[in-house]
Amino acid sequence: MKFRYQAVERLPKPLKEGIVYHSAEYEVGALLCACGCGHRVSLLVPDSHKVESTNGMATISPSISVCDAPCKSHYIITAGEVEWLPAFSASLAASTMRDQIARHAERDVKRLTWTQKLWASIVATYRKLKAAMFGRSQ
């Protein structure tokens, strides 16, 4: 299967096979897994992946590891061509997912304004106090 590149404003809900959708504005991409299982693969750009068009064909780097689907596919797409790689082990997949979540959480916190950080701190403190109060009264 070859993958074409398609620039979009927003990612469509139903994806078509063989197309890598890319929204530069929202810094995301998506495609259906290259193995044909139908799993929707979401790409966060530029944090974890780079999505480009090479003469209308998709190029994605680094590799795509589908850790959250039964197929456990792992591949690279270059100029529309899929190159298959060995699947991640269960421990490497779990570690990769944890690292990715931590990177996104850290990036999200850095994007907050000081007032948003203050409000988040107030909400977190309120929740801790509420949990402590209910914990004692039960």
Which pTM was predicted? 0.72
Q: Are 59 and 73 contained in the same domain?
A: yes
Who has greater pLDDT, 138 or 18?
A: 18
Q: How many CB atoms lie within 10 A of CB 80?
A: 19
> Do 52 and 105 belong to one domain?
no
- Regarding whether 9 and 51 lie in a shared domain, the answer is yes
pLDDT value at residue 44: 86
In tens, the pLDDT along 69-119 reads: 889 899 999 999 999 999 888 888 888 878 877 776 776 666 667 777 777
Q: So what's the pLDDT on residue 24?
A: 93
Q: Is the same domain home to 93 and 137? A: yes
Helix (H, G, I), strand (E, B) or coil at 17: coil
Give residue 108's domain range: 89-138
Same domain, 23 and 68: yes
Do 28 and 44 fall into the same domain?
yes
- The predicted pLDDT at position 108 comes to 64
Task: Please tell me whether residues 12 and 25 are part of one structural domain.
Answer: yes
pLDDT of residue 62: 92
Mean pLDDT of the chain, nearest integer? 87
Same domain, 50 and 99: no
Q: Can you tell me the distance from the alpha carbon of 40 to that of 129, in angstroms, rounded to the nearest whole number?
A: 40
The DSSP code for 58 is E
Say if residue 62 is preceded by a cis peptide, omega within 30 of 0: yes
Domain check: are 99 and 80 in the same one? no
The phi and psi torsions of 126 (rounded to 5 degrees) equal -60, -45
Phi/psi of residue 51, nearest 5 degrees: -120, 125
pLDDT, tens digit, for every residue of 46-59? 777 999 999 999 99
Question: Structurally, how many domains does the chain consist of?
Answer: 2
Tell me, yes or no, whether 82 and 93 share the same domain: no
